[in-house]
């Protein structure tokens, strides 16, 4: 059985999934890529929208999520922190 992901890692995975799809992703694709239950994904998405790291965009008959500059900055900072902690063996 795999390890449980921490909150920051889940947030990173969600934002990376959006960035990996060119900055915009459909909810179903985000659900698959983030490997979360529907309810968990909804909670994280709501929090990330509230914190202005991603946006919900309604287009005609479909909904998409997009990453904001603040979300991109989070990913950059997260990577720097991971590299720092990894350099000390954590």
Domain coordinates in residue numbering, the chain: 7-87
Half-sphere exposure of 21 (CA within 13 A, CB side): 19
Which residue from 85, 73, 80 is spatially nearest to 19, judged by alpha carbons? 73
Instruction: Give per-residue pLDDT as tens, 13-52.
Output: 999 999 999 999 999 999 999 999 999 999 999 999 999 9
- Residue 4, beta-bridge partner list: none
Predicted confidence at residue 2, as pLDDT, reads 54
Average pLDDT over residues 60-85: 96
CB 29 within 8 A of CB 85: no
- Using an 8 Å Cβ cutoff, are 48 and 71 in contact? yes
> CATH code for 7-87?
1.10.10.10
Average pLDDT, the chain: 94
Tokens, residue 56: 């919900």
Residue whose tokens read 């994280």:
44
Residue 30: CB atoms within 10 A of its CB come to 21
pLDDT 10s digits, 1-12 = 456 789 999 999
């Amino acid at each position: 059985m795999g390890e449980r992901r921490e909150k920051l890692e889940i947030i990173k995975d969600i934002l990376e999934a959006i960035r990996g799809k060119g900055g915009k992703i459909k909810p179903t694709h985000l659900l698959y890529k983030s490997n979360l239950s529907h309810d968990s994904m909804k909670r994280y998405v709501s929090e990330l929208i509230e914190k202005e790291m991603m946006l919900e965009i309604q287009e005609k008959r479909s909904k998409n999520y997009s990453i904001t500059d603040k979300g991109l900055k989070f990913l950059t900072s997260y990577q720097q922190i991971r590299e720092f902690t990894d350099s000390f063996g954590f």
